[in-house]
Amino acid sequence: MDSYNYTNFPRDMDQADFDAFAQGPKVGGQAPDARLIDAFSGEAHSLAAQARQGPLLIEFGSFT
């Protein structure tokens, strides 16, 4: 685990945490339901409820 910028990851992450990423949702697959927080209002929403209203785009950004 020394070929990347691992000093910026949480100190308690270990190899098993990184290995688990491969078990996550696949591109094009259905996302598991989750609680979403509106960044503007702070209001909580269900991912499934939002998806029923029409197409849904979720952006995962980074501040690093």
Q: In this predicted structure, what is the pLDDT of residue 43?
A: 92
Sign of CA dihedral 59, 37, 31, 47: negative
Q: In this predicted structure, what is the pLDDT of residue 1?
A: 47
Q: In this predicted structure, what is the pLDDT of residue 56?
A: 81
> Could you write out the DSSP letters of every residue in 4-44?
S-GGGS-TT--HHHHHHGGGSPPTTSPPPP-EEE-TTT--E
CB 46 within 8 A of CB 36: yes
Phi, psi of 2 (to 5 degrees): -115, 15
Structure confidence by residue, pLDDT tens digits, 4-51? 655 666 666 778 877 887 887 788 887 788 888 888 899 998 989 988
pTM of the model: 0.46
Q: In this predicted structure, what is the pLDDT of residue 6?
A: 57
Q: In this predicted structure, what is the pLDDT of residue 25?
A: 76
